[in-house]
Every structure is written in C-alpha cells, then in structure tokens.
Structure 1
Amino acid sequence: MEKLKLSYYTIPVKLESEENKYLLVHGYTGAIDVVDGDVWSQMKNISSDSDLSAEAVLLLQKRGYLTTKNKGEELNYVIRLAHMFHQAQSKLYKSFGFIVSYNCSFRCPYCFENEISNHGNQWSKQVFTKEMVDKAYNAMLEIEPRQKLHFKQILLFGGEPLLRENKKIVEYIVLKGAQLGYTFKVTTNGYDIDYFEDILSPHYFSFVQITLDGNKEHHNARRFHYIEGDSFDKIMTNIGILLKKDINVLVKVNTDNNNFYDFNFLREQFDTLGYTKNPHFELKSSFLRSFNFNADTSDNIDYIPSITTLNKKHKEEYNGEIYSQDFGIYKRFYSYLRNKSRCRLFSASCASHYGSFLFDPMGDIYTCLEIIGKKEYVIGSFLEDNIQWTEVRKHWFEKNVGNSVGCKVCKYALLCGGPCLARIKHTKDGFNSFYCDKFKNIFSISINKAYIAYKNNQSI
C-alpha cells in the first residue's frame, strides 16, 4: 500500500476565535473542514502508528488532505484541472458592457484614464450613436447566439457613463436593453445622477457603484467636477435618490493613508441620512493602486503599499466592520460555511480571461476595463457586418492558472484564479511575465473574519 502523506494543497488557517482549532481548505478538491489542533499535528506527520482512527484517515483522504500522490503528481493534476475549468468557463456565460464615452466630468489624479480624458482631447468626446448601439447588440448575439448564456447585467462605464449631455443615448441603450431582457449595472462618479431620475428604476438598473473618497475635505480635494468644483454634497444627495428608487448602491472609497480614518465620519453621515438602514446600501473600502503609467505624487494621495497592509489596518482599526477589498475571500467563504458547501474553484479570476466584451464609442471591443482606450489592446471591432477579431484576443482568452509561470506551482491557484492580466501587462515583459496580487497574504485574515461572522450568524 502506498504511503499516505499530507497533500501539498492542504491549507491550514488557525482560527483566532477558537481554542486550538484550524480551518482546513484544500486547493483542488475545494473541501473545507474545522479540525482540532491535535488532529492537524498528526496530519502533518501522518504515520502508520497515528492515533487517528481508520475512519478519520479515510475521510481525510477523501477530502483530499491526505494523499498518496507526490507533489509533482499533484501539480500536474491541478494544471489539467485548470485547463478543463478554463475550457468550461469559455463555453459558458458571456458578459457585456458599453463604454458610453471616454469623456469625464472629473479629473481624479489616480485615474488610469486620465491620459484619454485630459482637457482638449477631442477623441474622448466621441459618444455612442443609436446605430452603433444597435450594432453592439447584434455583436452580442454574434459572440454568443444563445441569449440564455448572456450575463443579464450589462455594464455601463466610461469615462463617466452618466454625463447629463449623454442622457438621450443612455436612455436608448437602457430601454433597448430592457426590451431584450437585460438590466444594467453602472460605475459612475455619481455627480449627474439627478439628471437621470425619470428613468431610475430597479427594472432598468440593478446596481450602481459610486465613489466617495472619505470626508468632504479629502473627497473634494481629489474628486471634483472640473468646471463646477466640489462634488461631495451633490453625490451624497444623489445616493439618496437611488436608494429611494430601491436601486442597489455600493459606495466605494479608494482608500489611502490620508482618508483611512474617515470611515467613522462616513458611517455617521450615512446613519444620519438613513442610508445604512437601507437594505440596498453597502459601503466598501477599496485598495487604491498606483499605476506605473499614472503615478501621482501630490499631497492628496499617500498610497498604502499593498492590499495586505490595507486589510491588516482595517482589522486593527475597525475590527473588520468595514468591508475591505480582499479578492472576495470573505464573502465567498462566509457563503461556503453557511451553505456547508465546497469552495468554488477558478481557472481565471476575471471574465476578461475568457468571456468579457466591452464595446466602446470608437467601434472597438476590449475585454478589460483597465486597458480600455489603448488601441494596442483592442480584441476586435463591431462596426462591420461581422466582428473583426484581432490577434490580441488570444493573449487574454488563453491565459489561466494552468499556464501561468507562478500560478501553476501555487497551492492557492484554483482558489484565487490568478492575477489580473492588466497588472501583468504593465510589468517588464508584458504578457510573458508573472505578477502576483498576494492572495495568500490576506487569506487567513479574511477566513477568520468569515468564520466569526458565520459562528455569530451575522449577515454580510
């Protein structure tokens, strides 16, 4: 009989809220189990004279934690799994979005689109026409004729998608989409929402993300209308308009060291306005990333060095009460624990790797929001009778953790899904290089937070 050993893909997380207990996660079976510390100690050094019962050993082997495979065999198995998952993902749901215009009424210093929307750039003023909207909807059916495999939420993005001067074309996009069975999610600066009040309805809009960067002083210092000035008060009012319409609103704070301690102020403001009691309202802290091509050194921004540091600061200061960007680990594992299910495994972390299509007002198709407007990353054009695809498409749709240099030897690979390709392209060797967002560094923090919420029967 082959000797059992601890699987390379067994991931232990010491539970801070329990005495001598560990939550085990397996990187390719998706198993999740809580075990006593003495059980974990014996698993690490499993032997024939172990105190573990035969039944316990058999169960641990079935869950994947114990195995007869060596590390190389496990690595090869995960690579094969990753390619299988990627093929399946590529054949399933497609997601779509409209870049209504590259124009924006803000000039936020950290924005990756500033080089497009700078004053005087007439190219950024191009807006969708009705004819282009029709062609984009036709292109969606060319990409995937089976509409049941379309993700039913279409993204509206920009620039700023909800500019007051673009109201008519936005209405056309939304009303036509609604007729075809879609709703819309919007990423907006929130400034002109009041101009769209007559079409705001959960029948059309399922989700709106708005950014408020801390208290009024900090927010207005870097997120202001480039003509009209301060934006904080107007955005706060517009959030209320959306909530009164029963539209889900996520308020995102691009968090740096300057505004990190503003969350208590924001919560007080939202409490006073009654927003926090509204089931459609959510507040999130988001890691403010410094892009190499748009690094800002102004006094308005003091970047936190890593997403790991951000989550540790949130744990220390807010005891996990503010949801902090963490690759979705907290919410996903809370759901797994609550439903007593295995982990969902991924070959790619983002639909841009297999099935995301973003139509812009120039007639181009992109797959990732962070590279829109950069012609070298166009994957196709939708203005002809048939989509004209480019060679760039394969660089995005073939990448997965099974063929990524660093990912294929990482025990977290199928839990994480790999890094963002937009990050990879900014490294020295572009698509051929490796970049890691350090999913593993915050895994324990978010798992413990999810476990505590699960044990306390909290909602998220």
Structure 2
Amino acid sequence: METLRTSSYIIPVKLESEEGKYMLIHGYTGAMDIVSESVVLCLKYNEIKKLSDLTLQALQRRGYITNKTKEEEIEYVERVAQALHKRDEILHKSFTWVVTYNCNFRCPYCFEKREYKDSPHRIVLTKSQVDRLFNAMIEIEPRKQLQDSVITLYGGEPLLKENKEIVTYIVQEGRKRGYKFHAITNGYDLDSYLSLLAPNLITLLQITIDGTKKNHNQKRKHFEDSNSFDKIISNIKLIFEKGLNVDIHIRVNVDKYNLEDFRALYFYFGQIGFLAHKNFKMYLALIQNNEEVKENDKNDINFLSESEYLKSNEKMGTITACAGYDAVYKKIEYAITAKKSLPLTAVHCTAQTGEYVFSPLKEIYPCWEVVGNKKFQIGIIENNTISWNKDELKKWHTHDVTSLSCKYCKYVFLCGGGCLAMKTNQCNLFKKMIIKAVNTVYNSVYANLFNK
C-alpha cells in the first residue's frame, strides 16, 4: 500500500466571512477548494486516517495529499518550473523603448546615470534608429503573434515636450505595424501629447506622484519648477476634461518620509474627482536601496525595510494598494469565477523570458530596472547587426524559481520568485496579498450569487 502524506505545497487561507471555513490552495497544481477547519487540521498534523474515504480521494486527486516524498515533490516542482519557463520563453516577447536618457526631473532614488540627464546634449532616438528598432523586433521574434502588441515608452522621460516629433513618429509607425503604446512618464509635459492619447495610440500612462503637494515637490524635483505637482495634476484634469480614453496609473514611490502620505493623496484624488474615473488607479511601491543610486542622493531618502513596509501597510490598511496586488487578485478572481486552476508562473516577469529594452545609445537591456548599467547589457545594435552578450542573456533568460530557494516554498508558482533586478525579499507581503485577495474575491463572488 502506498504511503500517503500531506503535500508540502498546500496554502490554507481562512475565510473571514465563513466561520470554520478555509480556501485551500495547492502551490503546484493550482487547485482551489473550500474545506472545513477540521480538514485543514488533519492536513496540518498529517492525520490522514481521520479523513473519510471520499474526502481522502478528493484531496488526493487535487494534490493536497500525495504519495510523493518531500524530495520527489521538489523534483516535480523543478520539472514543472522548467516547462512553464520554456512555454513563456517561446510564446511571448516584450519590447520597451528608451526614447531618451534626458529628464526634466532630478529624483534622488533614480538609478540611471545623472550625467545623461544633466548633459547639454540631447540623447534621443532618431527616425533612422526607430526604423531599425522595428526591424530588430522582427529579427528577435519574426512571428508577430508571439510579440506583445504593446510597446512601452521609457526614459529618462520619454514624453518631454521637445520629444514630441520623434514620439509622434514612433507611435504612427507603430500603429501602421499593429502596435499600441504605454508610457512611463512623470506627467509634466503631458499637455503636449494629448493628440497621441487614444485607444489605438498611447493607451496607458504610468505617472509617478510621490505624495501630496509638499512631499511630492520635495521628493521629485523638477530641474527648474519647484511646484511640479500642480502642473501634473492640471495635465491629468485636462485628459479627463477632454474625455480622452486612456488608462492612468499613479505610482507612489515610498520611503519613511512619505509612506503615510499615501492615504492623504488618495483622499485628495477623491476630492478632485479622479477616483470617479474607472480608468484611474493608484498604487504604492517601495523605494529600493539600489547600488546605482548615488551616495549623495541617498541622503534625501529614508529607506524602509521590507518588514517595515509590510507593517506600515497593514497598519494603514493599504495592502491592496501595494505594487503587485492587482496581479495576485486577478489570478485568484480568474480561478474562483471560472472554476479553474490558478494560473502558474515560474518567473517574476518577462525580463526572465523575453524582455528586450532598446536604448538611444544602441544598447539592449533585459529589464528597465537596469537600464544604463553596462554590466547588465545583453546586446548592442550596430549598423545592421545585433551583437549579443550571450552569457548575460543566458543569465537573465534562463533564470526561474529553480535557481533560487523558492522551489522549496509553497507559494513558488504564485509569486514567481520576486524581482531579479532588485533581489529583494517580499515573501511576507506576498502572503498577506494572497489572504486579502482570496477573501475579497470570495466575498464578491458569493455576494453576487446571493443577490441574483
């Protein structure tokens, strides 16, 4: 007779609205089931004999009870990770374009080289480079259906007023080829780009605003305007007033100085009507102690540890506003509403499978978090040839959860191992996100069923 044991990869989440009930999740099968507390306790203490035959068979089919040893489960996780990684590497290629390294802001936490921003020279893509980059995308992935249909515009600041001509050329040429665009922007010169904000052109803007007016203006310093906050808010109002159909995502980069200001900014956006727009959302992200941030700039940052960040968000009730929560929520929502297994991933993001970031200096990077850092450069475009740094390319595009101790973790295929560029540990935050998302979706689904 086979030896059965509780799987090492089960995640029990207590349902806050259902006394004595849990959502049971399996980390590598993606199974999700509602069970009683007594079942959870039997699994927790490996008291399988207390389960009825019917319950035992159901739990075994779903993976919660297994005949695999701990070592065999880990080996199985490794095989699944390799298959998932290969699938994503084959099926998906993403592209980001650094329009320029120049920027009109001097943010202390920026990791890109300050000499680029302060340079009197315009380091910006040319039309011939744009044409070459579209060709480079085809060289990297000739099958258009395996390319992401969205190109992200990045910088520096891609939407500088003086970049209007080249950005217009990029977007128009991209539209001819079937691409749409997202832009990562500080929002200061958005009033110059209203004609490019449309569902088939630039469809999404990620705008960074680091708190209410005082905190933002102190943290994100425009090179000559001491009150960039009002200009950015004015630009967003203009977008809404003109009824432009574009998604606006506000990112708030936080440290100890401005973390608790997030709620005040949220309240302010409610007062001025931004939150009433379904295409508007805001989230916060932890400022990382990146080695590329210059020492003199670090004096303007009061870094938070991951544990401090988690505790503060728990206290404020803002777990759902943390970067990454939306992705967790959507996975849980899909599984519960569609009655299917959770989507699994072996990587944190496309930088580990097929992300290519093109710069105006002809460099290619694997991730926008390492742009400008030559040690992470994976290639260069010279004339009609792409020359690859095969060692660096392999390091990024073969890295998955099996490269880390994550393969021992029950959350392994739900979280994907975290950001390779930042190398930070937000495991505890991720667990809190899972608990919150499960309960939020569960309450929503069953509330809707009750009201029908």
The residue aligned with 2:450 is none
The residue aligned with 1:53 is 52
1:129 aligned to which of 126, 130, 133: 126
**Mind listing any 5+ residue stretches in structure 2 that lack a counterpart?**
448-452
Are 1:138 and 2:140 counterparts? no
2:322 aligned to which of 324, 332, 335: 324
The residue aligned with 1:161 is 158
The residue aligned with 1:147 is 144
User: How do residues 252-401 of structure 1 correspond to structure 2 at under 5 angstroms?
Assistant: 252-294=251-293, 300-306=300-306, 308-318=307-317, 320=319, 323-326=321-324, 328-391=327-390, 392-401=392-401
1:454 aligned to which of 438, 441, 452: 441
C-alpha separation between the residues in 1 aligned to 2:30 and 2:56? 18
Code of the aligned partner of 1:33? D
Q: How far is the alpha carbon of 1:45 from its aligned partner?
A: 3.6
The residue aligned with 1:205 is 202
* Residues 35 and 444 of structure 1, relative CA distance in 2, 3 Å threshold: farther
Code of the aligned partner of 1:192? D
C-alpha separation between the residues in 1 aligned to 2:231 and 2:366? 32
* Residues 361 and 297 of structure 1, relative CA distance in 2, 3 Å threshold: closer
* Residues 31 and 455 of structure 1, relative CA distance in 2, 3 Å threshold: closer
Q: Deviations over 1:126-153 (max 9, x none)?
A: 1111000000000111111111111111
3-state secondary structure, aligned to 2:401 = coil
C-alpha separation between the residues in 1 aligned to 2:47 and 2:37? 17
Code of the aligned partner of 1:219? H
* Residues 407 and 444 of structure 1, relative CA distance in 2, 3 Å threshold: closer
Q: Deviations over 1:58-107 (max 9, x none)?
A: 11011110000000001011111111111111111111111001111001
Q: Deviations over 1:155-183 (max 9, x none)?
A: 00000000111111111101100111111
**Mind listing any 5+ residue stretches in structure 1 that lack a counterpart?**
425-435
Percent of aligned pairs with the same residue?
39
Are 1:407 and 2:406 counterparts? yes
C-alpha separation between the residues in 1 aligned to 2:270 and 2:41? 47
* Residues 423 and 301 of structure 1, relative CA distance in 2, 3 Å threshold: closer
Which deviates more, 339-348 or 366-375?
339-348
Are 1:220 and 2:217 counterparts? yes
State whether residues 102 and 118 of structure 2, in contact with CA within 8 Å, keep that contact through their aligned partners in structure 1. no
C-alpha separation between the residues in 2 aligned to 1:198 and 1:11? 48
Are 1:69 and 2:68 counterparts? yes
* Residues 140 and 269 of structure 1, relative CA distance in 2, 3 Å threshold: same
Code of the aligned partner of 2:136? A
Code of the aligned partner of 1:205? I
TM-score (norm 2): 0.92
3-state secondary structure, aligned to 2:422 = helix
C-alpha separation between the residues in 2 aligned to 1:18 and 1:405? 36
The residue aligned with 1:88 is 87
Q: How many pairs were matched up?
A: 441
Q: Deviations over 1:165-215 (max 9, x none)?
A: 111111110110011111101100000111112222222012110011111
* Residues 249 and 61 of structure 1, relative CA distance in 2, 3 Å threshold: same
Which deviates more, 441-450 or 142-151?
441-450
Which deviates more, 78-87 or 62-71?
78-87
Which deviates more, 333-342 or 359-368?
333-342
The residue aligned with 1:248 is 247
